[in-house]
Amino acid sequence: MTSSRLLLCIIGPTGIGKTALALEVADHFNGEIVSADSRQIYRGLDIGTGKPTPDQLARVPHHLIDCVDPDQSFTLAEYQDAAYTAIDDIFARGKQPLLVGGTGLYVRAVTEGLIIPAVPPNPELRAQLEERAAREGGDKLYAELQQIDPEATLKIDPRNVRRTIRALEVYFASGQKFSAAGQAAPPPFALQRIGLTLPREELYRRVDARVDEMIAHGWLDEVRGLIDRYAEASPALSSLGYPQMSAVLRGALTLDAATQDIKYHTHRFIRHQYAWFRPADSRITWFDLLAYATPTIMTKLDSAFHTR
């Protein structure tokens, strides 16, 4: 099937089991995994991002994990270019690429060929905006973006300060609205999209248990080491759960309070992800993991491949 250039995508909300399924699929189809996770690109953010374990990384080749340091920026355009390069390389070696992740914008950039504003990063302007975010709060910048480009804010999580800053940076540097980059050029491969889902309460139960497990496995120590090495305001440390862990280390939150807050915001993040991966999207074949076990999904994937 690799000769027909079919990209297999495994998408869905955080904590649902994309990595576990992707490993099975990669084993079965001689595949390699291209990550579509905007947090796992950062080195050192291992526990809190649910990054594949060393054993999992050794089992199947992974791409676009551990690309940049936490204090470095990584634009959507850079991700798209790197993902296309990885996918082409996997095809060229006769293997099957799998795009796996829950960052909706990353997935769309690859699968829809989004045309991204050709505005290079402006370090000076970005530093000014980051300083404002630290001083005034990310919500102030988000409110400003709502006035300038309300369509952009419909697709940017208010907590994603890095993305808000990028949208403002594009506008201030070029005069073009960030939302104007909605055009697309279809990529040069076919697509098979697999979506994983669960009843919402069951998914919340699983991600709550996952948060507890992350903390038990040393998440707080991971954040302590990152803060010792990088500035707390580094782009990566705005990732889900990391501000709360930082607050514990500063003495601003108890660990129990931080844990509950992370769970609350993880539930909120899942709702945001479902806005990207809509169950009504006919391009996605959805599998409720309470109804479909991995062998059944694999059988259906085999059928999809053999009918191409």
CATH of the domain at 256: 3.40.50.300
The residue out of 182, 198, 232 marking a domain boundary is 182
Whole-number percent of the chain with pLDDT over 90: 71
**Whether 190 contacts 304, CB under 8 Å:** no
Does 181 have pLDDT greater than 70? no
List, in sequence order, every residue forming a beta bridge with 90; answer none if it has no partner.
Answer: none
Does one domain contain both 140 and 266?
no
Q: Are residues 52 and 170 in the same domain?
A: no
Mean pLDDT, the chain, whole residue set: 91
Of 180-194, 267-281, 291-305, least confident by mean pLDDT is 291-305
Helix axes 242-250, 255-276, angle to 10 degrees: 160
pTM of the model: 0.81
pLDDT at position 20 is 95
- Asked whether residue 141 falls in the same domain as residue 96, the answer is no
Together in a domain, 198 and 94: yes
70 and 130 housed in the same domain: no
Could you tell me the two tokens for 220?
Answer: 């707080």
Let me know whether 193 and 273 are in one domain: yes
Q: Which domain holds residue 173?
A: 123-182
- Banded pLDDT at 296 (limits 50, 70, 90): confident
**Could you report the per-residue pLDDT of 142-168, keeping only the tens digit for each?**
999 999 999 889 889 888 898 899 899
Q: How confident is the model at residue 93 (pLDDT cuts 50, 70, 90)?
A: very high
Number of domains in the chain: 2
Q: What is the pLDDT of residue 3?
A: 45
Model confidence at 1, pLDDT cuts 50, 70, 90, reads very low
Same domain? For 105 and 241 the reply is yes
158: domain CATH number is 1.10.20.140
Q: For residues 256 and 169, state if they share a domain.
A: no
3-class SS letters over the chain: CHHHCEEEEEECCCCCCHHHHHHHHHHHHCEEEEECCCCCCECCCCCCCCCCCHHHHHHCCEECCCCECCCCCCCHHHHHHHHHHHHHHHHHCCCEEEEEECCHHHHHHHHCCECCCCCCCCHHHHHHHHHHHHHHCHHHHHHHHHHHCHHHHCCCCCCCHHHHHHHHHHHHHHCCCHHHHHCECCCCCEEEEEEEECCHHHHHHHHHHHHHHHHHCCHHHHHHHHHHHCCCCCHHHHCCCHHHHHHHHHCCCCHHHHHHHHHHHHHHHHHHHHHHCCCCCCCEEEEECCCCCHHHHHHHHHHHHHCC
Based on the fold, state whether residues 88 and 166 are members of the same structural domain.
Answer: no
Could you give the angle at the alpha carbon of 102 between the alpha carbons of 188 and 287, nearest 5°?
Answer: 90
Cα–Cα–Cα angle for 101, 102, 103, rounded to 5 degrees:
105
> Of 163, 182, 201, which one is at a domain's C-terminal end?
182
pLDDT value at 190 more than 60: yes
Give the neighbor-by-neighbor strand order of the sheet with 190-197. Answer: 62-63, 31-35, 96-101, 6-11, 190-197, 284-288
Looking at the fold, whether 191 and 172 belong to one and the same domain comes out as no
Q: What pLDDT, on the 0 to 100 scale, is given for residue 2?
A: 41
Query: pLDDT tens digits, residue range 106-135?
Result: 999 999 998 887 677 788 888 899 999 999
Q: Which residue has the higher pLDDT, 104 or 180?
A: 104
- pLDDT tens column, 6-23: 999 999 999 999 999 999
Query: What is the average per-residue pLDDT within 134-145?
Result: 93
Are 164 and 192 in a shared domain? no
pLDDT tier at 201, thresholds 50, 70, 90:
very high
For residues 169-189, average pLDDT: 82
Residue-level pLDDT at 306: 65
Same-domain pairing of 56 and 136? no
